[in-house]
């Protein structure tokens, strides 16, 4: 089968023949129709995560996608051949920029009925990130006041819609040219990050979702009410998560020092600091599919590339200027 992979960190993405995946018990084989680009894909290809994730070359690329169930492994009862599905794969077992992909069935969900494969492929990683950051880590519920940084990005465009679907009041940051879209997605307040300061405009927030990194932490804490939560998806994961993936003493020490520093900054503001490294979950994805089928969330696609163009799709993502998601279609 044709697939995208790298043979060394920092090298260009190769597109070539790879063996068909095995189909262990409990897995489904999916004929891929589309996959989406997430910044983690090109960060992995660059080697940014090599201290945390011990991956073997060739490293197959691609973290989520949509397709049709082609074959069932032993014991799979929750899907049938021909089902249209979408999913986020496990971090240690990537490779959705490929014609076929095998995955444990519990990580898969039925694709929303009202979405194309391209649209559905754009959802899993950012959808699960939004649910896990806002609901699980942040404790978001109806009436929560939530600030979502970088509202025009892949995570942001989903997170705004998800928070509104959950009954939250949503502020977001963006440049002027994104305002019309973000209003349409339901944002209650939009801060122009090029001319306004969030701490001058917002106060008393319950949750901040940080998709930009440490540069926005100090200002974000000023926006939170006492006891409010900053959930970041950037930087070093929490000590427990680092311990799950890495065994090296130095990696764990660096994580502890970093997390102590983050914690101290939060304490100074009477706030709570949390890091999310999102994880795959078919059950949560089914919840998201229900919101999509109910018309509460739609896909925002920045651009579409073919499987032969994965490197070009990565270059587009690396600009940090995409609006919504970048999708790779697969024949």
Ligand X SMILES: NC(=O)c1ccc[n+]([C@@H]2O[C@H](COP(=O)([O-])OP(=O)(O)OC[C@H]3O[C@@H](n4cnc5c(N)ncnc54)[C@H](OP(=O)(O)O)[C@@H]3O)[C@@H](O)[C@H]2O)c1
Sign of CA dihedral 48, 50, 52, 57: positive
**Other beta carbons within 10 Å of 177:** 9
Binding mask 233-272 for ligand X (x = CB under 6 A): xx--------------------------------------
Q: Is 211 in the site for ligand X (CB under 6 A)?
A: yes
Closest contact distance (angstroms) between CB of 63 and ligand X is 9
Stretch that binds ligand X, among 34-42, 137-145, 182-190, 262-270 (CB under 6 A): 34-42
Closer residue to ligand X, CB minimum distance, 132 or 144: 132
Closer residue to ligand X, CB minimum distance, 31 or 316: 316
Burial of 136 (0-12, 13-18, 19+ CB in 10 A): middle
According to DSSP, residue 174 is labeled: E
Rg, C-alpha atoms of the chain: 19
Q: Is 277 in the site for ligand X (CB under 6 A)?
A: yes
Closer residue to ligand X, CB minimum distance, 209 or 272: 209
Q: Is 39 in the site for ligand X (CB under 6 A)?
A: yes
- How far apart, in whole angstroms, are the C-alpha atoms of residue 309 and residue 202? 42
Q: Which of 96, 129, 220, 284 binds ligand X (CB under 6 A)?
A: 129
Beta bridge partners, 2, equal 17
Q: Is 284 in the site for ligand X (CB under 6 A)?
A: no
Task: List C-alpha distances in Å: 245 to 55, 58, 87, 156.
Answer: 11, 19, 22, 27
Quick check: 23 and 70 in contact, CB under 8 A?
Answer: no
Closest contact distance (angstroms) between CB of 40 and ligand X is 5
Q: Is 38 in the site for ligand X (CB under 6 A)?
A: yes
- How far apart, in whole angstroms, are the C-alpha atoms of residue 88 and residue 66? 9
- Where in 139-198 is the site for ligand X (CB under 6 A)? 149-150, 152-156, 173-175, 178, 193
Q: Which of 18, 161, 284, 322 binds ligand X (CB under 6 A)?
A: 322
Pick the closest to residue 163 from 207, 201, 198 (CA basis). Answer: 207
Tell me which residues touch ligand X (CB under 6 A).
Answer: 38-40, 129, 149-150, 152-156, 173-175, 178, 193, 211-212, 233-234, 276-278, 317, 320-323
């Amino acid at each position: 089968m044709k697939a995208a992979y790298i043979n060394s960190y920092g090298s260009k993405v190769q597109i070539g023949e790879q063996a068909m995946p095995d189909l262990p018990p409990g897995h489904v084989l999916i004929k891929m129709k589309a996959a989406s680009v997430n910044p983690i894909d090109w960060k992995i290809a660059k080697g940014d995560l090599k201290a945390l994730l011990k991956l073997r070359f060739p490293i197959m690329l691609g973290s989520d996608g949509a397709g049709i169930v082609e074959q069932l492994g032993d014991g799979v009862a929750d899907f049938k051949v021909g089902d249209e599905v979408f999913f986020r794969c496990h971090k240690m077992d990537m490779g959705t920029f490929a014609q076929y992909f095998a995955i444990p069935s519990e990580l898969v969900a039925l694709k929303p009925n009202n979405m194309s494969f391209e649209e559905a492929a754009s959802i899993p990683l950012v959808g699960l990130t939004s649910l896990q950051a806002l609901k699980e880590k942040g404790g978001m519920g109806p009436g929560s006041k939530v600030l979502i940084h970088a509202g025009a990005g892949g995570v942001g465009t989903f997170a705004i819609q998800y928070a509104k679907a959950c009954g939250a009041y949503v502020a977001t940051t963006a440049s002027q040219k994104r305002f019309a879209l973000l209003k349409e997605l339901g944002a209650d307040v939009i801060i122009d990050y090029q001319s306004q300061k969030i701490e001058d405009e917002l106060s008393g927030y319950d949750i901040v979702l940080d998709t930009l990194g440490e540069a926005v932490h100090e200002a974000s804490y000023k926006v939170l009410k006492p006891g409010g939560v900053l959930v970041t998806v950037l930087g070093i994961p929490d000590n427990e998560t680092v311990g799950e993936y890495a065994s090296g003493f130095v990696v764990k020490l660096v994580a502890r020092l970093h997390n102590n520093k983050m914690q101290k900054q939060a304490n100074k503001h009477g706030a709570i600091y949390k890091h999310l490294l999102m994880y795959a979950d078919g059950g949560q994805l089914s919840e998201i599919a229900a919101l999509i089928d109910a018309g509460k969330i739609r896909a925002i696609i920045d651009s579409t590339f073919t499987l032969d163009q994965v490197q070009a799709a990565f270059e587009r993502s690396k600009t940090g200027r995409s609006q919504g998601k970048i999708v790779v279609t697969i024949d």
